[in-house]
Each structure stands twice: as C-alpha cells, then as structure tokens.
Structure 1
Amino acid sequence: MLVSQLPGSLLIALLPVLLLCWADLCHGIPDRHKRDILKQQEASRQIGGRVLLTEKERQLNTQLQKLKEQEMAGPQFPPAMHFFKARPLIQRSPVFNLLRKMPKGAALHIHSLSLVDVEWLVKNVTYRPHCYMCVTEDGSVRFRFSSRQPRCHLQCFPWVLLETLRRKLGNTSDLDDSLMRKLTLFTADPEAAYSSQDVVWQRFEQAFAAASGLVGYAPVFKDYFYQGLQQLHADNIMYLELRSGLSGAYELDGSTHDRAWCLQAYQDVTRQFVFRHPGFLGARIIFTVHRSQTISTMKERVKEAIDLQKAFPEVMAGFDLVGREDSGRPLWYFREALSLPADLGVTLPYFFHAGETNQEGTEVDGNVLDALLFNTSRIGHGFAMAHHPLAKELSRKMGVAVEVCPISNQVLKLVSDLRNHPASTLMSEGHPLVISSDDPALFGAAGLSYDFYEAFMGIGGMSSHLGTLKDLAYNSLWYSSLSPQLKEKALKIWSTKWDEFISQNSQ
C-alpha cells in the first residue's frame, strides 16, 4: 500500500515516525541520536516515566532492576505461572520482600468478606462458643452462631456445634485444614480443579457464602474488620476503601441489624484503629448491591445509599454493583435506577465494576463505556478497557483510574500469563491506574504486596522501575474518595514514609 493510500487518522498518527524514517533512509543507517530520543519519549509516557528520582532513589532502583533481571532470567518466572503455584516462589523473592516494606498507599478495591486471611477465621472465629456448621448438598459449608441449634435448611443439614465436634475428634487439625479449604480457592492443582470460568466462579461464590455466616455475627463483624485493618497496616498500607453489602449482621438470638448499624460499626472500629495507629489514615465503605437484582429493588437500594451517605458522610464513600459481570445484568439495564441521584439533584459517587470480562463486543463488555457515562469515580478491574479506545480517552480526560487486580484476574481465568494482561498496554500509555487485591483472603494473597509484585514483574516487565512503583502508590491516594484536605494530608504522610523506605533500603 502506498503512503497516500493510508487512512487519514493513521497517517496523522504515524507522521512523526515517517518523517524520521524518510530523513534517515536517505542516509542509510538510522541516526542513533534520533533513535535514543524516540526511546526516551516512549519511556516518558509510561506510568512513572516522568518521575524524577533522587540520588538515593536511583541507587535503590539500580539494585531493584538487578534483582528483577535475575528473577526474570531464572528457570521459573512467577507471573507466567498460576498464582497458587507461584506463591512459594514469590515469598522467597528478594523483590517481593522489598515490596512488602514499601509504603503502598491505599487499598481501593477489596471486598468485605475476603478482607482477612482464612486461617484467622478458622483458628479464631470458629473456636468461639455457639458456632454451628453444616454441609450443603454441593459439598460447601455454612456457619451460624446461635444460642440454640439453628433451624434445618433444605440444602444444609444437620447443623453441628463445632465445639462438640472438636471435642469428639480430639485432633482437630484435619478439620481445621478442611474448613480453610472451604473458605478459599487455593488448591495445589488449580488448572485441574478449575477447568472453566463457570467452575471457578461457582467455587468463588460458595466460599463467599461460607464466610458470610462467620463474618456476619455481630461481635465477629467488628473484630474481623479490626483484624483486617491490622493486616493491611502490617503490609504498609495506610488507607482502605472497602466494598460491602452492609447486610446480614445478626445476634445469637437470630435478630438482625440494619445497614446503618453496619456503617456505624465500621466507623467506630476505624476510629478506634486510627487512634491506636496514628500513621493509618482510615477507611471508607462503598455500598454494594448484587447485579442480579430487579430494577425496582435497585431503585430502592440507590435511594437507601443516598440516605446512608447523608447520615454517614465520614465513612460512606459511594455505590457499586457486584457479582459476575458475564452472567449478571449490565449497567445499562439499571439506567433508571442509576439516574436517580441526578434526577433528585444529589450526588452519589459511583465506583463501578466494569469490563471484568474477556468477551469482547458483548453487552457486558459495554459496561466500560456505560460506567463512564454514569460518571463513575473509578473503574473496577477494567480488564476490557484496552479494547475501547474511546473509553480510554474519556477515562483519561475525566481522571477516572482503573483498579487493576492482577491475581484476581488470573485466578478467575481471564488471563493465564500476567505478562499478557491488558493492563500492560494501559501502563505503557501512562493511563491512570491503581493496584489492588480484590479478594485477597480467597486467593491467599493478604494485603497488596503480592499484587504489586505481579504488576511490577509481570504486567510492567523490564520497563517498570522504582518510578513506576512510586507513581502507583501515589495514585492510590490521589484517586481515592478522600476529601481534598484529607488527600493532601495523606500524601504528606505517605511521602514521609516513602523517604524513610528509600533511606533504609538504598546502598
């Protein structure tokens, strides 16, 4: 094809390169200086590409890049493997151990029922008095705290008091191990266990259902959240935005609490934790509703979210839809409900899951563009974003960051080798991104360090560097729902922690 036959838009995009090529073709070998300029220009566009590193940061970056090169040259490269098999390798990685020390800013995409590692749930919560368990027809488990034996359920019989069962067994290690397997997706052979997205999602939802009976018990609800904040703090995270359905909290007598009670509990526990850990900034809640609901129910939930935000402005961040996108109703289906805040003249921030799919061109795939049309504050997952050039452009102009959750996308079978994750394109273009962990307890990936490792080593490849990490951590606070004043405070605290991290680890 002649240059004159190229489409106009493509010709304009290629013009700078063509001019350079034409100039150099007349002289044989391309000019090395111009080549270097092109490489520098391209590198400056990626996340962290315009970060000016200090002398100490450059020293640490040199060390970090050497460690990365050694790991990439090794016989097994963790991002190319399923996380369940790669986790032991990651835990021995010098890069990972450095990332654990790094102040990572905020965790902006974590679900409430998967905040705390399952070992704590089993070894602590299931040993508390009045904890009953039963096994369902499909082999999953359910838990319930009750002052008397719970009523029989059609799919769950009989209910057994765990205290009695453990007393009969004597050695409880096998039982505890079995319960932990029921509460997580972790398995030694994930490819065989999860042959398709349908299979892994079914197991995923079973684990959530099992955890809900433990976490929903009112005393556990508060202890669980406090424990979650402790685990995040230990992973050098200073702020959390948690997605929660705000439902299901109950007492021993079977009475239940409303969503206002849940928000009040989150607020009280957060204040208590911040008082004891001054470096931790706090937590806010994104109220979630399952996308399987009817339009009328969704309207009620949106109205309820508006009321809750008025009552709890400190802790209530906004609203989102959850559940598997490929089998759930798309955002456009709920357009009447989602338009209610604008119709009422109020603001309800949205934080929509959108594009958590690899089914390009489907109605679900369109959630990415619809999320932006509904003025979402961030896009959860955005796995399909790379296929939507207009959505990418709008997202950038609107300052809407994509919440990338590498391990979740891999475990739920959207991508097998994280070097092929579509976020690599977004990262190379400097698109607004934050790294989060989605459901860390279900994956055995507490905190954010594992996901940062996968993003840094796999998605970013050799192009990513210390400036990339610095930008990603900074983004997590910049794109949070914090007020401008709190955001400024958070960034100052984080900056101090970052400088300390650099001083302690550079040579």
Structure 2
Amino acid sequence: MLRPHESLLIDARNQKNLYIETDAPLVSKGFFDHALPRFQLLAEDSEPTIDTNTFSKSYIPGSLMKYSSFLEQVPGGMQRAEDWIASKIVLHAKDAYHAEQTVDGIWSHFMRTFVVLRGLFNYETAYKNHFRRVIWSLARDGIMYVKLRISMHYGNYARRDDGTADLNHKEMVQLLSDVLSEDLPKMKAKSLHFSGARFIFTAFRSCTKDEMLWCIDDCIALKQAFPDLICGFDMAGPENAGHPLSFFIPELLLFRQECEDLSLHIPFIFHAGETLDHGGEVDSNLYDAILLGTKRIGHGYSLTKHPLLMQLCKENKIAVEICPISNEVLGLCPTIKNHPLPVLLSNCVPCSINSDDPGVWETTLSHDFYQVLMGSNSMSLVGWRVLVQWSIEYSCMGMEEKERAEVAFLSQWHQFCQHIVDSYDSRF
C-alpha cells in the first residue's frame, strides 16, 4: 500500500482523544531530527489535568500533549507536523544505504517505525479503516487472495474509540471480518478479482515462555471462533535479537498436540533464515522450522547455504516466501542481483513473491515482482506463471478455493497472453 501513513494521519486528525508524546522537547531542528513520537488514546475522564507543550524547553519527555493542540502549535503548521511524523514511519534510501549503515543499524531504525505506527492504528476506527484501505489497495494491484500476519502478541490490543477500554483479540478479528463482509461484494461489483483474506496469528519472538503459552491459548480460541480466517501461527521480530525457535520447542510441541486433540488445523508458518548468520543459533531456525513441520518459510534468505534443507523443502512441499525489497532494504543483500531466489528456483524449491511491511518503504507487491524481473535475465513468462501457480498451490486456501483460484488465474492469464499477441504480433 503506497503512503499508508497519509490516511492514518487523516484518521488521527479526527480523533479528539488522541495524545502525542516525544522522547525530547521539540525546540530545534536537531531535536526534530532525532526525537521519536508516540501516540496514545485516552478516555475523557483520564485526560491529563496539566497542559503540556512539547515545544517548550521545560517539556518533560514522555508527557502527553493533546494531538489536536500539537497540530495547532507546531512551528510551520499541520503539514509540517504530519511530514515530520511521516519521516519517522517511512524508511528512505538515505536511511538504508548510507556508508556507515549496518544490518543491525537499519533493523534498529526499522523497529522504531513501529513505535510510531502502533499508536496511530491501534484504536477501533483506524484499525478497521486501515485494513479496509489495505485490501482495496491489494485488489487494485491485481491480487486475488492474501494471507496477512496480524500482531496478536501478549499485551498488544487496539483501544475502543472512546479510550475507555481495550478491544480483546476476538473483537479485533471481528472488526476485520466485518470489513471483509462489507467490502468483498463492493469489489466484485467493480470487477475486481480479490476473493478474500486469511490471517496468521503472530506472536513476538522476544516474549517469555509464559507469554508464549498465553499466545498459544489465544490462537486456539481465535481459530475456534473464526475457523475460516485464522490460518496459521508465526513469530515476528528480528531473528538476531529475539529467541530462536529452539527456545520455544516444548511450548510449540504442546501447541501441536492441543490442535490435534481439538481437531484444529493451525499450521506453523515460521519466519526463518532472515539472517546473514551461518552455523549459529539464528541460522538453526531453518532446521527447527522444518523439523516442526512448518507449511511455509518466511524469507528463508539463508536457505541456499543448506543444500539438504533445500531438498527437504522440495520433498515436504514447503514453500519459501521471498521478500526481495525487504531483504535489500534491511541489509541482507546489497542489490537484487545478489538475491538467492535464482538459486532456489534452479533447485526447484517452491517459492512465492511477497511484500514484507510494504508501507514502511511505500511499495506494493508489484514493486517486489518488478525487482525479481530486474534481478534475473532468466525469468520468462513460463517462470512467472509457475511462481503465481505455486502461490495458489501452497496457499492456506482450501482445495475448492484453490481450484476456483486456479480457474480464475488461467482465465486472466489467457486474456493477458492474447492481449500481447493482438497488440504486438506484428513485431515478432
């Protein structure tokens, strides 16, 4: 989704109970450059009794200022304020590619964006509106179906619009379900081919074992409440900084056993191999993900260092979710021509092309496809067709849905090929 922060900031303008805090007073350009804003929704009866001004030298970092007042008082006006907040959300080339940047450095910058984003969409109206805008953006980008990782880790909730309480995770998923029910018929009426979404319950890999057990119980409860929406379980966060999968082996085995006892199908869809590490604890996530029976592997950037694991992915029909732009921006490969995707394809490892946090670098899935196109001269129309068909075959859809998706794709594919022949036949 291109420039998602713009719509989130429009939502924020209309939220009268929204507050902002910064980790430094905004009294000079240097402070604006380095300060990080956070947002919080408060109930009317819990609003601060003391007026706070983040533009004052006496401002105490972390104190809350009403966001509407912030927009009125910021030097340069509302547009400058929103441009400044946007600069804390979007990663630009100068952030990723300057000479002193490192993998750890860009990851730290990347994680700071979520500190800002969290408060901007973690309340009822923004949460629902943002999801609606996301699926419409996907539909207009030609996407037929999407599985989204949604942050459901311990303590992560959206607030009610009046700020009086948190929505629980069941209520949050219900909001997303309501959007799908409301908007899928509208998409069909506009001849868009988007057929729906499913959600991967995503915990945070830096959580404690007790918090992981809570997440497991929560995921099972959500699957029982929304059997057609919850399609998998994953852990998010930088692999180099969080716990390896091996840390949670007892909890994950318990999860698998509970699902079997309840006749629930919640496959693991693990992030693994998003690292330059080789032979260390982080690199072992690939081994553990496969041993735990993961259905897909998120990123799998280091998979090509392990020929045996590539063979196991082929034999066990484990697809690798390739995220080319993310891998480049976050420092794993200097350019798309260094990406391991061609090696995976040469070894017939099933892959799909995916967007990873596209809003942070203002891209769509089409941009990721374009990067793949530019990264290898061996990509042909046949190769593109196989990639798309793999994305259907290895998706979380049921068999009937896969068959319908295959029919719909082939119809569009044949139309596209006929268009090329009709338009450019005289040139060949």
Instruction: Name the TM-score class by shorter chain.
Output: 0.7 to 0.9
Change (3 A) 1:242 1:150: farther
1:410-449 to 2 correspondence within 5 Å? 410-445=328-363, 447-449=364-366
Select 1:255's aligned residue among 153, 165, 184.
Answer: 165
The separation in 2 between residues aligned to 1:326 and 1:157, in whole angstroms, is 29
> Secondary structure at the residue paired with 1:462?
coil
Which residue does 1:222 correspond to in 2?
128
Shift of 1:343: 2.6
Change (3 A) 1:129 1:311: closer
> Secondary structure at the residue paired with 2:269?
coil
The separation in 2 between residues aligned to 1:198 and 1:291, in whole angstroms, is 17
Shift of 1:147: 4.4
The separation in 2 between residues aligned to 1:209 and 1:185, in whole angstroms, is 14
Deviations 1:56-80 (A, max 9, x none): xxxxxxxxxxxxxxxxxxxxxxxxx
> Secondary structure at the residue paired with 1:237?
coil
The separation in 2 between residues aligned to 1:437 and 1:150, in whole angstroms, is 39
Change (3 A) 1:364 1:150: farther
Deviations 1:423-472 (A, max 9, x none): 22102222100000111000111x201111111211xx111111111111
Higher RCO by CA contacts (8 Å cutoff, separation 6 or greater): 1
1:285-296 to 2 correspondence within 5 Å? 285-296=199-210
Runs of 5+ in structure 1 lacking a partner? 1-113
Shift of 1:155: 8.7
Which residue does 1:239 correspond to in 2?
145
Runs of 5+ in structure 2 lacking a partner? 25-33, 53-58
Which residue does 2:385 correspond to in 1?
470
The separation in 2 between residues aligned to 1:260 and 1:388, in whole angstroms, is 40
The separation in 1 between residues aligned to 2:310 and 2:61, in whole angstroms, is 46
The separation in 2 between residues aligned to 1:397 and 1:283, in whole angstroms, is 28
Which residue does 1:276 correspond to in 2?
186
Is 1:160 aligned to residue 160 of structure 2? no
The separation in 1 between residues aligned to 2:77 and 2:169, in whole angstroms, is 40
The separation in 1 between residues aligned to 2:35 and 2:325, in whole angstroms, is 26
Change (3 A) 1:282 1:404: same
Change (3 A) 1:463 1:187: closer
* Identity among equivalent pairs (%): 32
Change (3 A) 1:171 1:296: closer
> Secondary structure at the residue paired with 2:267?
coil
Which residue does 2:289 correspond to in 1?
371
Is 1:121 aligned to residue 8 of structure 2? yes
Is 1:408 aligned to residue 292 of structure 2? no
Which residue does 2:56 correspond to in 1?
none
1:107-506 to 2 correspondence within 5 Å? 117-122=4-9, 124-130=10-16, 131-137=18-24, 139-148=35-44, 156-169=61-74, 171-188=77-94, 190-192=96-98, 195-246=101-152, 247-251=156-160, 252-278=162-188, 279-344=193-258, 345-346=260-261, 347-445=265-363, 447-458=364-375, 461-506=376-421
> TM-score scaled by structure 2?
0.86
Shift of 1:268: 1.4
> Secondary structure at the residue paired with 1:242?
strand
1:276 aligned partner, one-letter code:
K
Deviates more, 1:373-382 or 1:344-353: 344-353
Deviates more, 1:329-338 or 1:466-475: 466-475
The separation in 2 between residues aligned to 1:220 and 1:167, in whole angstroms, is 22
The separation in 1 between residues aligned to 2:185 and 2:215, in whole angstroms, is 32
Alpha-carbon RMSD? 2.2
Larger radius of gyration between Structure 1 and Structure 2: 1
- C-alpha contact 1:380 1:404 (8 A) present in aligned 2: yes
